[in-house]
Amino acid sequence: MSVTQQQVLDSLAKVMSPRGVGLTNANVLSAISVSDGKVFFSINVDAAEARAWESIRAQAEQAVRAIPGVTNAMVALTAERRAGAAAPPPPAPTSAPHNHSHGHSHGVQPVASHRPPQSPASPMAKQAEIPGISAVIAVASGKGGVGKSTTALNLALGLRDLGLRVGLLDADIYGPSVPRLTGIREKPTLDDNKKMIPIARFGLAIMSIGFLVEEDTAMIWRGPMVMSAITQMLRDVAWGTLDVLVVDMPPGTGDAQLTLAQNVPLKGAVIISTPQDLSLIDARRGLAMFRKVNVPVLGIVENMSYFQCPECGTRSDIFGHGGARHEAERLGVPFLGEIPLHMSIRTASDAGTPVVESEPDGPHAVIYRQIGAKVREQLQGVIAGAAL
């Protein structure tokens, strides 16, 4: 059954704003996108009124999902402060802050000892665990083009090969790569609780905004809508029981990274860099951001570390070599490993059959599993029920 924009508007007209008028008359709705049973729009309000509107956002989403033919609805609440207006008070914490020990070290001690307690006034006080998930870790980079998504997927598969139950969340709203890297074309369905069911592939539970929109769709979303989308993909997905959820972050140090850090107590972050100085500068920024929000850095991976000719075996350090290792030593964080620039990694990724899956006995799969083992070692004491 085809869903029309008018059906969505008719449904939203029955949802009352805090002022008692229907949403369609409240001058707060963005353009409404309807495609193949998927509905996306935002509710734009003043930041000072955001708290009063959160329940309205939930009602609007519930109303849209009740329309026959709607398979998924994503409604974002975007709150912007008017010029000259005072900042709204910080929201009340949704869960008690975690009572971790003080101090912040970056050795290989269990990450449970890394995170200091948060003040109730801190944005981090809003953090709440995702039921059923023992550890959420971010794979991040300070800049694009360093092979972060390929590394995140193969790291997840390496952790899977170590006996862990693993999920992968593609949090890059503007440029989701996971659908292409995994070859997934189907759309997620909803369970009885109206939560999205992640796509099962390669023994992983996988979710991406790319599963909900066409590959060539331009996601022209403001920061608050991106933040809302990431929150929904964390909270409104039936992840089940996982030892580790690997989150493939967008490049940079913006809204998406802060949303994740403020939403869930991250057990760590893996920084991806190439050996060249320009990439290392951006990697430092990413590492500094995670330290600032009290997320332990599990280590740095040097991707595209060297090129080895598949014909003659000659090794060439195209981007230099060893820069990430030296940077890790300088900053006092673990160095997790070197991944070469190799044709088989690229071709396997383009074909939607990642190299750890397609060549499990090959040298590159071994490297990713070794990196996974170092990450798993640092999660000791955090992953419930896993054999560490």
What is the tens place of the pLDDT at every residue in 265-310?
889 999 988 876 556 676 777 777 888 878 889 999 988 877 877 7
Lowest mean pLDDT among 119-123, 212-216, 250-254: 119-123
Q: Where are the alpha helices (DSSP H) in the chain?
A: 5-12, 50-65, 148-161, 178-182, 223-235, 255-263, 277-292, 323-331, 343-350, 355-358, 363-378
pLDDT, mean over the chain = 80
Strands 268-273 and 297-302: parallel
**Start-end of CATH 3.30.300.130 domains in the chain:** 5-80
Query: What does the radius of gyration of the chain's CA atoms come to, in whole angstroms?
Result: 22
Q: Would strands 315-316 and 307-308 be described as parallel, antiparallel, or unpaired?
A: antiparallel
Percent of the chain exceeding pLDDT 70 equals 79
Helix axis angle, 277-292 relative to 323-331, nearest 10°?
30
**Single-letter code of the amino acid located at 166:** V
The DSSP secondary-structure symbol of 55 reads H
| Spatial CA neighbour of 341 closest among 183, 148, 147 | 147
Q: Which two tokens stand for residue 347?
A: 């071709």
Distance CA 312, CA 309 (A): 6
CATH 3.40.50.300 residue spans of the chain: 111-378
CB under 8 Å to 363, separation ≥6 — which residues? Answer: none
Average pLDDT of 211-232? 71
5-80: CATH topology: GMP Synthetase; Chain A, domain 3 (3.30.300)
State the pLDDT at residue 277. Answer: 58
pTM: 0.71
Q: Looking at beta carbons, which pairs linking 318-326 to residues 24 or more positions away fall under 8 Å?
A: 319/274, 319/275, 319/276, 319/279, 320/275, 320/276, 320/277, 321/275, 322/275, 323/273, 323/274, 323/275, 323/276, 323/277, 323/279, 323/280, 324/273, 324/274, 324/275, 324/280, 324/283, 324/300, 325/300
The mean-pLDDT minimum among 26-35, 60-69, 111-120 falls in: 111-120
pLDDT confidence band for 209 (50 / 70 / 90) = confident
Comparing CA positions, the residue from 109, 251, 243 lying closest to residue 175 is 251
Confidence of residue 126 (pLDDT cuts 50, 70, 90): low
| pLDDT of 125 above 70 | no
How far is it, in rounded angstroms, from Cα 45 to Cα 52? 10
Higher per-residue pLDDT: 292 or 149: 149
Q: Supply the CATH classification number for the domain 111-378.
A: 3.40.50.300
pLDDT recorded at residue 284 = 76
